[in-house]
């Protein structure tokens, strides 16, 4: 493989990474909005839902030629981080009011931003 071919392939990976980040951000906006519908910080994880998501991920990985040994741990991490974000939101004073107004409570050290409307993305939480 030539240096120019390597550079071109790396550039393509960089573009794919940018798309992945946008998709994960869209998913995270939905996770934030869904937090306001949950019963409390100790009730954010739904084992049945997690099993369903992982089953869909496994099937999609097989369909698209992605090794399940890569896909499943990535989604487990995504699901865990999503649950942690929901817990933090639900524990933050006044966060539910912001969620009800479509405002995401920002991560520590960040200023508030407007969250997407609930139907804007197809992310799952």
> What does the pLDDT read at residue 95?
64
pLDDT tens-digit readout, 97-117: 555 555 554 544 444 444 333
pLDDT at 119 over 50: no
97 Cβ contact partners less than 8 Å away, ≥ 6 residues apart: none
> What does the pLDDT read at residue 96?
59
pLDDT at 122 over 80: no
> What does the pLDDT read at residue 40?
87
Query: Is residue 115 within 8 Å of 21, Cβ to Cβ?
Result: no
> What does the pLDDT read at residue 103?
54
Residue of 121, 118, 48, 34 whose CA lies nearest to 83: 34
- pLDDT band (50, 70, 90) for residue 94: confident
> What does the pLDDT read at residue 118?
37
pLDDT at 81 over 70: yes
pLDDT tens-digit readout, 22-69: 999 999 999 999 998 988 888 999 999 999 999 999 999 999 999 999
């Amino acid at each position: 493989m030539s240096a120019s071919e390597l550079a071109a392939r790396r550039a393509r990976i960089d573009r794919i990474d940018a798309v992945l980040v946008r998709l994960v951000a869209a998913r995270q906006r939905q996770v934030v909005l869904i937090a306001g519908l949950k019963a409390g910080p100790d009730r954010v994880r739904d084992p049945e839902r997690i099993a369903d998501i992982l089953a869909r991920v496994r099937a999609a990985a097989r369909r698209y030629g992605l090794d399940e040994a890569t896909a499943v741990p990535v989604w487990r991490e995504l699901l865990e981080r999503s649950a942690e974000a929901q817990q933090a939101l639900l524990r933050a004073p006044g966060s539910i009011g912001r969620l009800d107004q479509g405002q995401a409570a920002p991560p520590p050290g960040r200023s508030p931003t407007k969250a997407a409307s609930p139907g804007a993305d197809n992310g799952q939480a």
